[in-house]
Every structure is written in structure tokens, then in C-alpha cells.
Amino acid sequence: MSTHFVIIGNGAAGYRAAKSLRRADSDAQVSIFTDERHPFYLRRQLGDFIAGNLTLPELIFQSRNAYRRERIDLFLMTPIERVDADAHEVVFASGQRVRYDRLLIATGTQAAPFDIPGTDLAGVVAFDTLTQAQEVKRLLGDVRRAAILGEGVVGLTLAESLVARGIRVTQFMQGERFWPEMLDERASALVEEILEDAGVTLRRQASARAIIGAGGRAIGVEATGGEALPAELVAVGCRRRPAIDLVRGSGIEVGRGIHVDATLRTSRTDVFAAGDVAEPTGSDEFGEEGAAFCWQRAWAQGGLAAASMLDQKARPVLEAVRLRGAVFGHDLAVIGHGQLAPKDNVTAAELPGPAAVYRRLVFEDGRLIGAIVFGTGESVHELNRLVAERAPRGVVEARLGLSAEAPPKGALADTFASHCPICAAELVVYRGTQTGAVLQCSVCSTDLVVHWDGHRGWLEIGHP
């Protein structure tokens, strides 16, 4: 009988795993359960959808027919309530059960509870799924001002798309500056400057006490100081935590996320976890409060999870990127520890570059453990590898071309720009990159292989 691979969650990790499993095992039964109503879509581009830069067909990456063609059984609007690891079954809310041979949990993150009066008013929105984005879009006709409660990536993305639609935005920030657990003061200041230049009002050290309503609709926010701010749209749920409720009581070990080893196996041998929900055992990646929130990491882990579920020896995922995105059109990447409290063995260095670019490297005991790259996509891919390898300082300098030496054999002698063959995004490949290296498209995350004929470079779809 064929193996039944069950996947919970149809985001970047779950979808990639399903595709990889099908490609590797044509006999297997592959089932994906998702509580959402749409097939796989580019979640990280929901902001572009609201801003009007992407249409629905452009956002939905894979039609239902495409799943059928690939014989991947997709069950939409089917939340899994719990995992019964002893019985090797997933359990629906109705009590119905489905047996698995191998299970992948790829449930991502969910909004942390946000308990203030008024969250049930019309005009109070979360912004995590396509359905919620459609609801935001529907409401926009009546909105002139918006308040965003929480300064996570989701909130920032929404702020950007609302500004693009001519809406005045107030951003509440719990602390004095942006993302102090990931960014140093300079990078925080750059993010804040961009937001303020774009017309966003930042309210530092501010939170909301209640959402004010009239006739069942939100009309404003009452700040903790008692001040009332007008807003017809209020975004909540911007703080995220791993979606692990379904494994509680199952015997599968959890911390903040689901604990996994280097092959993404959980404490149960036939259960795997990948993407934002997966927390490497013994790593401090999630910190006290955090959660992974990174498309690129989730996509890469989907591939690794599939290989592990097939008992294949997989390439380890050299994935240290914690955040990769753009703030109002300015590239921002945080790789590993972009920010660490000063210690004797920790040093930071800024890379030279144009004024609009900020690149900070963090070394521990002379080895690269983190980087912040702001204002450019340049060197993110290389730095990801170098941080994942904890490369010594000399190697970092040589690979980034900071030393005057000629590029090593097989490496590109020049930088070239090309388009992703899948989504047409423009990608820049830098001098020093090895021919044959696999890059991921920063938009659709397709693996792309670098080719160079001595004069000209191009990208082709890779087959991991």
C-alpha cells in the first residue's frame, strides 16, 4: 500500500513539502489540510494586493486544478483540531479522523491574544490571510484614517499599503524604537525615518486601552494615556506566536514552537514540523517573546521536511535569515543575530557602501553570527550562508569581495541582473557568486541556478 503523507497547513512550508513529496514519490498519497478557503498564495505579498499592485490571480500561485493535476489532495476550510500521535491520526473538529504514515505540521503563526474592549466592532481587522485582506479591501471605501496596534511585519506591511491608498496611518509602538530584539539603534532609526517620511505618525511607548465605536463601527482608539485618536480602520493581531495548540497533550514536545531536530523531526519519529511553527531544539532562535516569521526560511524548510519524511539524506538547510522584506520599498534583511547585547567576545562592524545602504556584521569570537542589510538586496544570500556556517572574519571579507583579491575560480567576475523565470521579479547576482550556486527568488522563492559563460550570466530553475 502507498504511503500516506499528511500535511497540516498550506503555506510556504506545507505547499513546498507537498510538491517535493509528489515529485519524489509518484505512488504516495499526499493530503494537505488547511483552515483557509484559498489554495496556495503569496502571503507575504498581501500588502501589494491591498495597495492594488497585484490582482487576485497574480497572488494565487496555484489553482485548485493544478493540485488535482499533481494528485495532491487539498482540503480547504478543514481545520485540524488536534493530533493523536499515539493513534497516528489527525482529528477534525467534528471528531472525524484521518490516519497518516508521516505527518508534517506547517501551521505557521497565529495572532497573540489581544484583549481590549471593542475588538468586535466593524472596521477592526486582522491581516494574516487572503480572506482578511479581501475584507480590508472591502472596507477601504469608508476609511480615511487607520490605526495599527503593534509594530510587527504584518502591521508595517498594512501601513505601507494603506498609505499607498491615500489613508492617514497612526502606528502604535510599544517601545521607544522598532524591533530592538533584531535591529540595532541605527537600523531602527532608518526604519522609523522611512515611515515618517511616508507620512505615518509614530506613537512611541503607546498602546491602546480600547477601540471606540459608534453604531457598531470603529471610529477611533483610546490610547493608554486617555487620548482619543480617530480611526475608521483598526488593525489588531500584529503580534504573532507559533500555532501549536493542535499538538498540546499529544506528547509532541513544544517550547514556543514545535521542537525539531536538524532534519525537522519532532519528538515523535513519524511527525515533522517546518516553517514558522518549527523551533530548533536547543537554539535561541525564537528568544523569549519571538517567533520565526520568514517566508524564505519556511520555503527552504518545506523542501527539507519532505526529504526527511522520505528518509532521504537531505542537504542541511543553511538558512539563517530571520526577516527578509521591504519597508516602503527599501530592502531589509536580518540574518541570525543582527543585534546582540555588547559582550567582550561580540564585535560589530559596518561594511562600506553608498549612503543609502547600511550593512552591519556581528561577530562572536571572531566568527560571523549575524548581519543587518538595509537599503539593498546585495550580499544577503552570501551573508546567509556565511552566518549559517559561522564563517571566520577573514573568509567573510574574502567572500564579500572586501579584500582586493581576484574572485576565486568558478566565481562570477561581474555582477548581473536577470528575471525570475517564474514570477519575473528582477534579481541581481553579485560578483563573487559561484557558478552553479542556487539562489532563491526573493518574491516567489523558486530555487534558481546561477549560470555564467565568462561574459554573460543567467538564471535557470533548479530542481532540488
> Where do contacts with ligand FAD occur on this chain (CB under 6 A)?
8-14, 33-36, 43-44, 46-47, 79-80, 106-109, 127-128, 153-154, 157, 243, 246, 275-277, 293-296, 298, 324-325
Q: How far is the CB of 215 from ligand FAD (least distance, A)?
A: 29
Is 20 or 109 the residue whose CB approaches ligand FAD more closely?
109
Residue corresponding to grid cell 486601552: 209
By beta-carbon proximity to ligand FAD, the closer residue of 337 and 399 is 337
Shortest gap between Cβ of 20 and ligand FAD (angstroms)?
Answer: 13
Q: Which is nearer to ligand FAD, 259 or 324 (CB)?
A: 324
Q: Is 347 helix (H, G, I), strand (E, B) or coil?
A: strand
Give CA–CA dist 165/446, Å, rounded.
30
Q: Could you tell me the smallest distance in angstroms from the CB atom of residue 359 to ligand FAD?
A: 18
Of residues 106 and 386, the one with the C-beta less far from ligand FAD: 106
| Least distance (Å) between residue 124 CB and ligand FAD | 17
Cβ nearer to ligand FAD, comparing 45 with 170:
45
Beta-carbon contacts of residue 439 (< 8 Å; ≥ 6 apart)? 381, 427, 429, 433, 447, 448, 449, 450, 459
Smallest separation, CB 240 to ligand FAD (Å) = 8
Q: Residue 112 CB, nearest distance to ligand FAD (Å)?
A: 14
Provide the minimum distance between the beta carbon of 411 and ligand FAD in the complex, in angstroms, as a whole number.
Answer: 27
Sign of CA dihedral 154, 159, 162, 168: positive
C-alpha cell of residue 447 = 530555487
Question: What SS3 state is found at 13?
Answer: helix
Of 59 and 116, which CB lies nearer to ligand FAD in the complex structure? Answer: 59
Least distance in Å: CB of 104 to ligand FAD?
10
Handedness of CA 334, 458, 54, 66 (dihedral sign): negative
Residues composing the chain: 464
Contact 390, 396 (CB under 8 A): no
Query: What CA–CA distance (Å, rounded) separates 395 from 353?
Result: 19
Kindly state the helix (H) or strand (E) to which residue 306 belongs, with its residue range: helix 295-309
Q: How many CA atoms lie within 13 A of 355 on its CB side?
A: 0
Closest CA to 78 of 57, 101, 62, 96: 96
Q: What is the DSSP string of 260-297?
A: E-TT-B-SSTTEEE-GGGEEETT--TTTTT-----HHH
For residues 241 and 359, which CB has a smaller minimum distance to ligand FAD in the complex?
241
Q: Which is nearer to ligand FAD, 198 or 349 (CB)?
A: 198
